[in-house]
Structure 1
Amino acid sequence: MKPSISIFLLFAMLTACATGPQPTSEPAAQQKLAPGIYATDTGEELTEEQLLDRLAEHQYVVVGEQHDDAWHHEIQARVLRGLAERVDEVALGMEMFQRPFQGPLDAYVAGEIDEEQMLEQTEWAERWGFGTEMYRPLWLFAREQAAPIIALNAPRELSRKIAEVGLEGLDEAERSEIPELDLDNQAHRKYVRRAFEQHDMEMSDERFERFYTAQVVWDETMANTAVEFVHNRADVDTMLIVAGGAHAHRGFGIPPRIERRTDADVVTLQPVTDPQSATMEQLGVAADFVWIKE
């Protein structure tokens, strides 16, 4: 597994354990979550249709994932279909594709190339590598609807170089690719540092700073790409963004970085496969809605 992804897989694993409100003497925020769909601000349980109605009210919908969890991708596809039924024009933004490869995605949606060619030209196997069968329903539906698929992510070469030499080690052309960065989110810093400590991954403060900056460049690039696309496409009512759980985090991932750039609001949904330990209070920090698997 490539280092630039591992920390976000870790987030998905940490937040994949959740259960829901059951009769107990604990305060509501501390109750475990049973299977179902919940609004984390109130604890209200929703039907799928109610959830989709609420998501469709927003211009940006971010749905997190654990990359190797097929059920998470099933939920993302159901959300995409639900949004398409509720708004005139929907776009699909994907962490899995990097910005230099937008052309093949446009050609795929236009019917000019097939899936095999699209995957080859976007270098899926080398740059992402997770099973295409889990993501296929997303891009097949987008193509059927002629809905744009947006390559959100920074080039791997850029994020790796930042992790190695920092921003100061970039040349002028590379610096021009870096959007405005917010490196001061202390909750995010603590989260990333704690992830390293829990996995016995030691690094100097200097190395941590470079690595942390590379992670922020991922989130900021995806947020900036999404905002630029929607700004330039007045016909698009809603963009669904699919990304790893930490990227989708309400407090420090893509959502606040979109909101810093635009007046449009962002709503987040986190699928949770294995409800064991997380509480409504814990999940409410990460997402506006949670969908706990039966």
Structure 2
Amino acid sequence: MFFSSPSTRAPMPKLSTLSLLLLLVGCSGQKNHKYGESEWTMPEDRPTAQSSKGEVQEVPEDVVRKAARPFRGYRSADERVFEEETFLTYLASADVICFGEIPDSPIHHYAELRLIEGLSDRRPVRGFELAVGFEMVRITYQPVLKRYEDAPRPFSFLSPKIFFADEWGYPEAYYAPVFELAASSNARLFALGMSKKLTAQIEERGLSSLTADQKAVLPRLDFSNAEHRAVFDARIKDHPDFGTIDVENHYQAQVVRDEVIADRSTQFIMERLGARKLLIFAEEARCHRSGIPARMLRRSPELSVVALNVAKDRSSADGYDYSFQFE
């Protein structure tokens, strides 16, 4: 392990009866947008006929449950290591936790379960309202999420209504326990995903190709963060089509995605600052401190926003305030 370890070994992770049951079932405009509306989805935007990621790979329904293992928490600022419950208590002091996931990593989704459970356990004493935001659900499907939140059911009931396979393209088994636990924990479910049609247009032809109406639905965009650009430039080299794609256009699309999530999330949390906590689940690069967290703080510096990931070594913890360290 790359973190210094206390003399006492961390206990095996314990899930509540609710969590275990769920796992076993497996089943540049400047308009001020209201987070509850769906301005970021074009009227003509519709779900695609098939997933952009190709055929969805089948994985076992219990893939997340089998990933359960002990963990510690790491804080980058002072390189301190915390046991599980202490780590979750520190995280629960933030207004917003932006957790950067790798979508096809079971251990990352197990971490999401522990985050939901850890904050839910602390809610009765602290008295906050918990919301879980999902990049993988398009904003236009917020009413569907609300109905699911009001009457929790297996994820298989929700997924076709949000076109999950087409929109996100990863096996449902990775996400079913997360959505089910969030809904059954009385958390608010918050859609954060952007129009695929709009982002695809930006990736192909750039922001300059947008019409005035398209630009009008975008929040304020900031391209001046050098750290954010450096992180993007390093990661884009792993793109399967690197060398043929327009890198500048792809960067513009990433900034738009990050800004939409940051804008919507900031408005939501600021409505009841101090009485709400928001967990954001998004792809790892978006939750780098220079991504969504920095863009939220630019809007509302008084916020406490934590950038969180799963780190295998010290270099992969760079750019994040806290990291899960799994054994």
> Are 1:19 and 2:17 an aligned pair?
no
CA–CA distance in structure 1, aligned partners of residues 144 and 236 of structure 2 = 36
Aligned partner of 1:179 in structure 2 is 219
1:93–1:241 CA contact under 8 A, matched in 2 = yes
1:152–1:225 CA contact under 8 A, matched in 2 = yes
1:40–1:283 CA contact under 8 A, matched in 2 = no
Q: What's the CA shift string for 1:78-121, capped at 9, x where partnerless?
A: 11111112133100011111111111101111118763342112
> Are 1:41 and 2:81 an aligned pair?
no
2:266–2:296 CA contact under 8 A, matched in 1 = yes
Q: Which has the higher contact order (CA 8 A, sep 6+)?
A: 1
> Are 1:258 and 2:296 an aligned pair?
yes
Deviates more, 1:152-161 or 1:35-44: 35-44
Aligned partner of 1:29 in structure 2 is none
CA–CA distance in structure 1, aligned partners of residues 122 and 108 of structure 2 = 21
CA shift for structure 1 position 41 = 1.2
CA shift for structure 1 position 249 = 0.5
CA–CA distance in structure 1, aligned partners of residues 156 and 212 of structure 2 = 35
Q: Given the alignment, which residue of 105, 118, 134 partners 1:82? A: 118
Compute the RMSD of aligned alpha carbons: 2.3
CA shift for structure 1 position 161 = 0.8
> Are 1:271 and 2:307 an aligned pair?
no
Q: What one-letter code is carried by the residue in structure 2 that aligns with 1:39?
A: R
- Percent identity between the aligned chains? 29
Note the residue ranges of structure 1 that are not aligned, 5 or more in a row: 1-17, 23-34
Aligned partner of 1:168 in structure 2 is 208
CA shift for structure 1 position 234 = 6.0
CA shift for structure 1 position 123 = 1.1
Instruction: Please give the TM-score of this superposition, normalised by the length of structure 1.
Output: 0.80
CA shift for structure 1 position 191 = 2.6
CA–CA distance in structure 2, aligned partners of residues 196 and 80 of structure 1 = 31
> Are 1:72 and 2:112 an aligned pair?
no
Where 1:260 maps in the other structure, the secondary structure is helix
Alpha-carbon spacing, 1:195–1:113, altered in 2? closer, same or farther (3 Å) = closer
Give matches, 1:1-294, under 5 Å: 19-21=2-4, 36-87=72-123, 88=127, 89-111=129-151, 115-197=155-237, 201-202=242-243, 207-232=246-271, 236-250=275-289, 252-262=290-300, 263-272=302-311, 275=312, 278-279=313-314, 282-294=315-327
Q: What one-letter code is carried by the residue in structure 1 that aligns with 2:184?
A: E
Where 2:248 maps in the other structure, the secondary structure is helix
How many residues were matched structurally? 256
Where 2:269 maps in the other structure, the secondary structure is helix
1:41–1:284 CA contact under 8 A, matched in 2 = no
Alpha-carbon spacing, 1:117–1:270, altered in 2? closer, same or farther (3 Å) = same
Where 2:221 maps in the other structure, the secondary structure is coil
CA–CA distance in structure 2, aligned partners of residues 118 and 197 of structure 1 = 35
Higher helix share: 1
